[in-house]
Amino acid sequence: MRIEKHPILNFEKERKKIHFTFNGHPAFGFEGDTIASALHALGVKKLSHSIELKRPRGFYCAIGNCSSCQMTVDGVPNVKTCITELKAGMEVKVQTNKGELYDK
């Protein structure tokens, strides 16, 4: 779901592809993406879930306020994926619990 044409902004077509994994599956984004924007572009909206009822959660604010986008990244839980820059080789996972101090 990338923007293809825009009257004001110019999104470079030749941006560098960045490969990472999502729940163990190969995934990719582009240079300049956050983890959440890369996932959203691939059609992944569910990033986490509520703790008690396990209701699906996606990001709401995209600027690091709402905590609805928190995932486990490279073994570190509760990473705000909407403001964390995507880096090559990242292992991104939907968190299954509140997040222990260090799961790894």
Partner 1 sequence: MISKDLVIIGGGPAGLCAARMAAEAGQSAILIDRNAKLGGQLIKQTHMFFGSEKQYAKTRGIDIAKKLLDDVGSYPELIEVWEDATVVGLYPDKVITVLKQEKYLKIQAKAIIVATGASEKVLAFENNDLPGIYGAGAVQTLMNVYGVKPGNKIIMVGSGNIGLIVSYQLMQAGVEVVSLVEASPNIGGYKVHAAKLRRYGVEINTSCTIKKAIGKEAVEKVVTIKLDENWNEIPGTEKTYEVDAICIAVGLTPLTSLLSMIGCEMKYISELGGLVPVTNKYHETSIDNIYVCGDSSGIEEASSAIVEGYLTGLIASSKLGKKHPKFAELVDDFQSQLENLRNGPFGAKIRQGLKKLGGSVDA
Chain contacts with partner 1 (rule: CB under 8 A): 1-9, 11, 32-34, 37, 40-41, 45-47, 50, 55-66, 82-83, 85
Minimum CB separation from partner 1 for residue 12, in Å?
A: 9
Minimum CB separation from partner 1 for residue 85, in Å?
A: 7
Minimum CB separation from partner 1 for residue 96, in Å?
A: 16
| Cα separation, 72 vs 70, whole angstroms | 7
